[in-house]
Every structure is written in C-alpha cells, then in structure tokens.
Amino acid sequence: MCGIIGIASSKLVAQNIIHSLKKLEYRGYDSAGIATIVDNEIHEKKCAGRVDNLEKLLFKNPSKGSLGIGHVRWATHGIPSQLNAHPHSSDEVSVVHNGIIENSTLLKKNLEEKGYKFKSQTDTEVITFLLTDFLKSYDLVDAINKTLKALNGSFALGILFKKYSNIVVGARRGSPLAVGYGPEENYLGSDSYALKSMTNKITYLDDGDVCILTNNKIEFYNSENKKINKKILTLSEDKQFTDKGDYKDFMSKEINEQNITAKTCVKEYVDQLRKDINLYNFPINPKDIEKIVLIGCGTAYHSCITAKYWFEELTNIPIEIDIASEFRYRKINFNNKNLYVFVSQSGETADTYAALDLCKKNNVKTCSIVNVVESSIARSSDFVLPIHAGPEIGVASTKAFIGQMLVLFILAIKISEIRKEINKTDYENKIDDLQKLPDLIKDTINYCQDNTPIIAKDFIKAKGSMFLGRGLSFPIALEGALKLKELSYLHAEGYPAGEMKHGPLALIEEGLPVVILAPKDRYFEKTISNMQEVIARGGKVILITDEDNKIISENVRFTLKIAKTNEYLSPFLMTIPLQLLAYHVAALKNCDIDKPRNLAKSVTVE
C-alpha cells in the first residue's frame, strides 16, 4: 500500500524516481507525485491516476534537481485526486508518507489555530506543517524527533527540506522502509524491489529509526536519537521473475510458474537421497509443543486454514487459526510452549506484523512463513521458512499461495516425524509425493488452460456465485471466491458444502454459477450429494474433480479435470482452475488484472 522513493544524488534524479515508482505500481495506488530540490526551492508535480500520467507531466515540464522524493498513493484519508496526492509541501518541507496518522484530526486543529492553511483531506499534510512549525525553533534532528514523537499511528516517511537542500530524510514506525547504497547516490524505498534496478546493497530501518541521506553518506539514528550502524545486505538476482516475458500480464505468468515455485521449494527443503526434510533450529522442540497457532490475512489466512487440516491429520497437536487483524484485539492466553506461526507473502503485512510484535512482547516462540526473507516479519521472528516463490508482482496472490501451503505442509510432515506421530514408510511416501507435485501442477495447468475461458462467460451477467467444498477443499473454495472478487469485482462466496442447508441454499436460483470442488477423497460422495441439491434448484454447476465417472457429470454444466493425486495434495491442484477462472472472468470484463482497484500487494496499514 503506497510506495516511497527517495534519491540523493550528484546527477538529475527525476527519471530514476519515475522508473522506481513504476516498480512500485504492483503495491496498488490511485495517484502519484514527485518533489525535487532545484536552486534551494521545492518543485512539486503530482496527478491522479497512473505513473504514466506523471511521466507525461514531466515530459512537458522536466523536473530538475539531484535530490528528490516520489510516491504512489493508496487512498486512506481523502478521495483519490491531484490535491490529495503526495508529496505534500509547505514553503520549507515536502513529505511523502505510507501509513496512517491516528491523531491527525487533533494535530490539524492545533496547527490551524497557529495559522496553517490545509489544502488536502489527507492526514499526511499534518506531518508537513508540524515539521515546518518545529523547524522554526529547533535544528533539523530535534525538529524531526519532536515531529515523530507527536505522531500516533504508523508511518514510513521520505522528507525534503528547502533549508537543508542536500539531504533526504527517512523515518519509520510500523510501515517498512529500506535504504539503498549506490555510487555517488543513495536511496530510500518502500521495499527492495523498487531499488533493485539501482543497487543490490540494502539496509532496512527498524521501528523508530531515522536515516539522513546525502549523495555520498548515510547516517542512522535509533528511537532514542543515538547514532547507530546498520547491517548492509546483498540482494540476490532474480531478473527472470520480474519480466513478463511473452505473457500478457504478470498474473498469467505467475499462474504458469507455479510448478517452478513448487519445484524450487521442494528442492530447498527435501533431501532426495536421504528421503528427509531439512528443517533445523526450531525455536521450540517439536516434542514439547502444546499448541500451534496459525496467523495470517486474506490469502495467507486461507493457507492457514488448509494447514490446520494437515496438522490435525499428521500430529496430535491442537491447532488454532486466527485472522491477524483480530488476534491482537482479543484476550490471548500466551503460552511459551506454544508455537505461533505467521504467514505473509510480503512479510510486511501490518496486521500480521502487529500480531507478531505482540507475541514477541509476551516472550513466546514465533515462526514466519514469508516470500521476502529481508522483510520486517522475517527479521522479527525466531524462525523463518521462506516459500521461495520469487517476486510476485500481480496483486492477487497465486504462486505465493501455493508456496505458503507447500511450506506449511512440509512443516506439518517434519513436526510429525520428529514427534514420532508418523511411521517411517508414511513419512517417506509423503516425501515422494512432494517430489511428484511440480509435475502434477504443470499437468493441471495444461488440463484447465483451454477450458476456463469458455466457462468464464457464465459469470459475466450473474448477480453472484458460490464456491463449495468439504475438508481440505473448503479453504480452497474460500480462496477461489476471493480471487473472483479481487480480480473481476463480482460478488462470490465460499462455503463448506455441508453448510448449504443452513442458510446459503436460499441463494440458489436458476442460472446461479456454483463451483463444486470434489476431489476423490473421503468427502466425495457427500459433496456430490450437495451438488445434486444445487442442481435441483437450478444452479449452474461447474464441477472440479479428478474423478472419471461420467455419471456424476450428468446435469453438470461444465467439468474441469485436475490431475489425479492423493487427498493431501489435492488443495494444490484444486487451486489452479479457480485462479484461471478468476483470471478469465476479469479478462472478459477488461479489468486491470495485475492491479485490481482499491487493493494493494503489500498491506502496510490496518
């Protein structure tokens, strides 16, 4: 959500800022802007809409200056508009901001009483005038510290100053912020991806940190205003993941990369020769675990629900699942013999990070499953399990979901083996199954690729749709409904198929698309019975199954086949046709597939 770029250089920076803002478009945004320092004056340009619009403004009237900040905004306070776009500038200061200032109304009232005139509806403009006010009485560092202490909420900031015209300042509390090192220039960025085209040397700010950048020096201060040193990380090269290649968009590319994600992940965690899973240095002895708590948001939460079934089947450990945004507002009975597992694609999800922070404050053992190993959640956890999916650019998660489920399944198998709750033969069989999974995923993509565009037409004029499954297929039904909502803006709901008679059956009417997930598992016959209830009421059934029996397809509008596998692996394969279906419905509606409206890839506000 929102994106920040800052560059302190010895050469003109506007084009590099624009290039980096385009890298941040995947985060979701509605307006864009840039500010530079030219002849000790702040020059600001901003617009509603895409970065391309901002680039056109700069083409007509180039922005000079070797010092600049840029921003793509996802609206929280105030409608998407040029006026509300960042940066927000006074005569002395220009600010870009990710996050939310919770006490902005009170601060604004106080500043208005001092004579400051606000132009926007945003909370960010409060920061601009607050800092401007403190600079009248204090030097730079003290003014920054007093401003930060006055703010309640979360923020990542990039700041320019008219008086201090050779520096860019960054500050962080809650929202992520990275610093990059280059030859004769240094950088600020919301994440490393935006900076990778300029540098592979990165430092991450911790909560409370402030950095001051010039073109040849970076200074860091902690929350107590003490000068500190920060570790420099070298980022790996992954250019093959960040180019669309021959694909129309990133999402179609990422759907088709899922067999590679699975292959890479299995290779990282499975020792093929020894038939063992390589997981070591657990923060808690698995034999001592009394409960596992799985925590995530959105798609990551659905991977947690799926994992609950696996853990309960493979171990005797009680399992809880929690939506991160609810977790920290409940009365939690923390136990240091519990393992708290946090799942996040970006590793920067604000609610998930806040839940992790609460666990850390209560001295319990934590594990994170993330796609970005340098992220805040990864760095704050006792134990990190990367999903090895590579950068995922499409806002609606696809290959990261497969990766999250796969790592959770691997974790469940290994904990079961350590606790002696699975016999050696079963353990080795599951490892064999893992090694077959990438090919099964590839086969399923091939099976479903041609048929889903035809099926998608049934959803265009429908007033809603339903996704039904039992057991391990239930969380996949939730994910399928979420994907359709995210991409096509059509209403969809996922339900446990057995719950139909307890209310949702009232929604079934002639022509309503209903997706039935029915792999040949222990629930198969019951799911088919639920399907018949839908058919009897006029529902238009799309059946997704690995069963060849033609009889079950009678009165079914479409049947999508997935590769045959066992019950444990069916969620990975059931997911694929649902992703393709959502993709093709969105394509028929001419939706922006990689950047759905109102959504962000990295959700860094509550």
| Residues involved in catalysis | 2, 601
Dihedral sign, Cα of residue 214, residue 215, residue 216, residue 219: positive
Structure tokens at 564: 């045959």
Q: Omega into 87 within 30° of 0, i.e. cis? A: yes
346 contacts: CB under 8 Å, gap ≥ 6? 191, 370, 371, 372, 375, 601, 602, 603
Angle (deg, nearest 10), helices 298-314 and 473-488: 170
Q: What are residue 482's phi and psi, to 5 degrees?
A: -60, -45
Rounded Cα distance, 466 and 596, in Å: 21
Order the strands of the 201-204 sheet from edge to edge. Answer: 41-48, 31-38, 67-73, 3-9, 185-189, 178-182, 201-204, 233-234
Q: Are 1 and 602 in contact (CB under 8 A)?
A: yes
Q: Are 585 and 464 in contact (CB under 8 A)?
A: no
Rounded Cα distance, 439 and 430, in Å: 15
Q: Are 395 and 601 in contact (CB under 8 A)?
A: yes
Rounded Cα distance, 123 and 128, in Å: 10
Q: What are residue 90's phi and psi, to 5 degrees?
A: -110, -170
Number of H helices and number of E strands within the chain?
Answer: 18, 27
Burial of 83 from C-beta contacts in 10 A (0-12 / 13-18 / 19+): middle
Which one, of 382, 445, 426, lies nearest residue 580 by Cα? 445
Rounded Cα distance, 302 and 290, in Å: 23
Q: Are 334 and 310 in contact (CB under 8 A)?
A: no
